[in-house]
Structure 1
Amino acid sequence: MNFVKRAGLSLWARKGRTLITLCTFLVISVMVLAGVLVNDATARAQQEARRSVGAEVNLGMDLGALTSGGAGLQAPRIDAGTVDAMGGLPQVQRYTYSMWDRGILKGGTELVTEGVQSPMGADGTITLGVLDSSLLPDFRSGNFRLLSGRHLTAADKNDKLLMVEERLARKNGLRVGDKVTLGSNEGTASADFTVTGVYRDPRPVSEAEPEYGVNPANMLYASVGAFAGLNSGQEQGHESGGGSLQVANAVFLLRDADDLDGFKEEAARLAGSALDGFALDANDKALRQMTGPLKSIGSTATLAMWLIGLAGAAVLALLANLAVRQRRGEYGVLLAMGESRSRLILQQALEMVVVAALAVGLSSLFAQTLTQSAGQSLLGREAAAAQRKLDSWQAPPPGSTGIDQGMDPDERPVENADPVDRITVRLDPADVATVGAVGLGIALIATALPAGAVLRLSPRAILTKGK
């Protein structure tokens, strides 16, 4: 009788032991497959989060160089043409930079005088020249809302365009397409800027804009090249690449967070010494905030998978050892009849492999549904806890950074970056193959070791030594 037929008859004759082994293998297969599926699902969710958020890289003053004496007390400046070249790298989706100065409203346009009085005087306001207004933090977070018109873009760099707050627009009857005359901070230069957008700042007029101290209703955003040319006395068509426009900071939005290292290397090569005194810092806070629960359940699933796998392997080894001991007489007789040791080990291994294959097949039928339900429940609890922590954060009092109250500004939540609370589990053939390989490996190891220990004896020793 060949060993394959003997293996089938042995499995059928020992139904109780076969069933116990099958159940053990089934638990191992389900848990290992669940761990693989959860890890795959969380990896996909993290990748989707990366693509939705991108990676924001801030170009700003290197505080380490400043404190070590590597830079002067004056903040460094970089030519806008160099920043434009960095923004043209293939890793960059969009970028922006800005400069601010005092602007003088002329031609009958009046400031909003209710609330905080402008420190610039009765006709002066703070104007922020910006390359791409949609990348400003308040617009990206949804705190500011564009009511009509459009944002300033890089294509508008040297066009005389302006965005105004709705209260200033309402007081002066301004609409998209209207002209507003702006005068330079020094000298008599002035130019007509076209209103390209009207936005809403939710802060009341009684609350000063925190960075510039101006009434929020009087904050203007202008195309950076045209506004810089107005204050430098240049003509409209001047280019920043000639060194006329110097900026202190910039923001680059990358296409993918994985492009960060490549972008830093290319930017350093392209800019060279122009980056002295500057640092490129990745602002991946939004990504960490969104993917925190995913990493938590991924770690939990991996730990559970290893614990169950190791415990199951130990149980299977014990079952295989007991089975071999119970069949010492059978092995002794077969060896005495001339059966080879290798074929007896193959028979024992085949019995375990058949049970393992059946368990893996059964686990693939319901593991996806079970994992989706369990994983979603676990992720939902983690995401809810993370969201409660974000909601409990209290902003520092107006005019304070919160540092003097022992608050860490870095703990401030990123708006519109809610923790991911859903995953989609998909069962791929590669996952089943992985679990199958793990199960077969455990089966072979659990069988070969005890069987080899017994079959190394002679038939006489096996039959006379007893159990």
Structure 2
Amino acid sequence: MNFVKRAGTSLGARTSRTAALLAIFLVICALLLGGFLLQAAAARQEADAQRTIGVDVTVRKEGLTPALADRLGASGLVHRYNAEVRARAAAQGFTPLTSKVPEPGGGDAAQEKAKGELAVDGVRDSGMLLPFSYGSTKLTAGRGITPQDAGRDVAVIEQRLADKNRLKVGDALQARSADGKHATRVTVVGIYQDPAQEPTMWVAPNELPGNTLYVPVDTAQKLGSGTATVSEAVFKIGSPDRAKQLHAETEQLLGKGGFDFRVNDKAYRDQVVPIQRVGTFAGLLVWVIALAGALILGLVVMLQIRERRSELGVLLAMGEKKWKLIGQHAVEVAAVALPAVALAALAGSLAGQAAGDAFLGRQDDKPVSASREPDARIAPPAVRVEAADVGKVAGIALGISLVSTVVPGIGILRLHPRSILTDTE
């Protein structure tokens, strides 16, 4: 009889043992698939966390220009960056806010006023500014400044300034450089609300929170008479180990020394490192389950071989080759492994997401750390049963089947029909 056909007959005749073997294999395959799904979900969530949270590197240097900041921001290590240029400007055609406290006497106040009533903050990406990213300063209308605004004369103004001048998104206002030589017409694209209250003592108009305009870097340079430089540039990179590479690129661009290079990776450590640990745990889990599964099934097959010594002796006496006897056991175990893989894939598609949430957790339910951007939340882990994962589980399952039958089957190669049939054990 063909040993493959004989394996099918044997499985049908021993339904209880076949069911037990199927249950063992189902548990092994389900755990293996769970490990692969958890590993893949952790990798996807880690990649998402590196993009959204990442590590902030702040570079300061006297004389740092927007062009140099752009060159550093073009590095493949940088996901997102913001360069900040500060200037002062005078209002033209609209009325800036003034302090409600009487102005003290003397010439200093008049001189400060002459330098420009407006504080102009030129940015590349206003979403990376701490007040906006932390949520203390919120947009009430329109949008913020984005990299796509480069070369455009647009502005985001404070709610109090908008209310006083009845300005809304889409309106235009004109600002003049402090030296009076340049006038720039900007379009309001957003209105924000700064929670800071007005000082209780007199301050120059440009120091009032409502008189700050956020504009693109090019616009700030024009209002600053073209001489404004970058006060600081913040670069978001994927992980702390890339900070050294960025530092080397900064030295190559700006020269050794003479610049301040600060790395803030607390949010990364708080949020990404635990995800990496889950991924490592999942990889270790796969190896442990594979080894344990091979041992358990090896013991089960060994016990079955001992119980079926008489059957083996009869087959050997009939001239059956020993390798076919081992092949029969391998086919029996493999025939049970494949349905177990299919059932495990079904269970993974139904319960995988819940398991992923339990291990990786939903970030929306976690408190935001002091150094973490509230709007940079990690997306919930996406746990998907993919063909590649099922294929890996099937491959390991078949490997376990082969190991668990070949190793105990070595004993069959040393047996003789007479010794098996005359053995009373």
Band of TM-score, shorter chain: 0.7 to 0.9
Residue 342 (structure 2) pairs with residue 383 (structure 1): no
- Kept in 2: contact 1:86–1:270 (CA 8 A): no
* Alignment correspondent of 1:342: 323
Counterpart pick for 2:129 among 114, 125, 136: 136
Task: Identify unmatched segments of 5+ residues in structure 2.
Answer: 201-205
TM-aligned CA distance change 1:268 to 1:35, over 3 Å: same
- Kept in 1: contact 2:123–2:215 (CA 8 A): yes
Which amino acid counterpart does residue 192 of structure 2 have in structure 1? R
* Alignment correspondent of 1:408: none
Q: Which residues of 2 match residues 63-462 of structure 1 at below 5 A?
A: 75-88=61-74, 95-101=81-87, 103=89, 109-114=95-100, 121=109, 123=113, 124=117, 126-148=119-141, 151-152=144-145, 162-174=155-167, 177-182=171-176, 184=178, 188-189=179-180, 191-197=182-188, 199-206=191-198, 214-228=207-221, 230-231=223-224, 234=225, 244-252=227-235, 257=238, 268=249, 272-274=253-255, 276-278=257-259, 294-295=275-276, 298=279, 301-302=282-283, 304-379=285-360, 382-383=361-362, 387-390=365-368, 411-420=370-379, 422-462=380-420
Which amino acid counterpart does residue 405 of structure 2 have in structure 1? T
TM-score by length of 1: 0.71
- Kept in 1: contact 2:4–2:328 (CA 8 A): yes
SS in 2 for 1:169: helix
Q: Which residues of 2 match residues 48-59 of structure 1 at below 5 A?
A: 48-50=48-50, 53=52, 58-59=57-58
Which amino acid counterpart does residue 211 of structure 2 have in structure 1? N
Which amino acid counterpart does residue 350 of structure 1 have in structure 2? V
Which amino acid counterpart does residue 303 of structure 2 have in structure 1? L
Cα separation, 2, equivalents of 1:117 and 1:338: 114
TM-aligned CA distance change 1:301 to 1:277, over 3 Å: same
Deviation at 1:432?
A: 2.0
Cα separation, 1, equivalents of 2:231 and 2:59: 7
- Kept in 2: contact 1:55–1:282 (CA 8 A): no
- Kept in 2: contact 1:82–1:271 (CA 8 A): no
Deviation at 1:319?
A: 1.0
Could you list the per-position Cα deviations for residues 412-433 of structure 1 after superposition, in whole angstroms to 9, with x for gaps in the alignment? 332113343x344332222222
Could you list the per-position Cα deviations for residues 131-171 of structure 1 after superposition, in whole angstroms to 9, with x for gaps in the alignment? 44454333345443344566456676677665432213333
TM-aligned CA distance change 1:416 to 1:275, over 3 Å: farther
SS in 2 for 1:78: coil
Deviation at 1:85?
A: 3.4
Could you list the per-position Cα deviations for residues 171-223 of structure 1 after superposition, in whole angstroms to 9, with x for gaps in the alignment? 34555645455453xxx545434353353234141479xxxx94322333345
Q: Which residues of 2 match residues 39-50 of structure 1 at below 5 A?
A: 39-50=39-50
Which amino acid counterpart does residue 16 of structure 1 have in structure 2? S
Deviation at 1:87?
A: 4.2
* Alignment correspondent of 1:70: none
RMSD of equivalent CA atoms: 4.2
Deviation at 1:323?
A: 1.0
Task: Identify unmatched segments of 5+ residues in structure 1.
Answer: 62-74, 239-243, 394-410
Cα separation, 2, equivalents of 1:96 and 1:308: 47
TM-aligned CA distance change 1:320 to 1:207, over 3 Å: farther
Deviation at 1:24?
A: 0.8
- Kept in 2: contact 1:290–1:417 (CA 8 A): no
Kindly, what percent of the aligned residue pairs are identical? 33
TM-aligned CA distance change 1:425 to 1:107, over 3 Å: closer
- Kept in 2: contact 1:159–1:223 (CA 8 A): yes
Deviation at 1:369?
A: 0.7
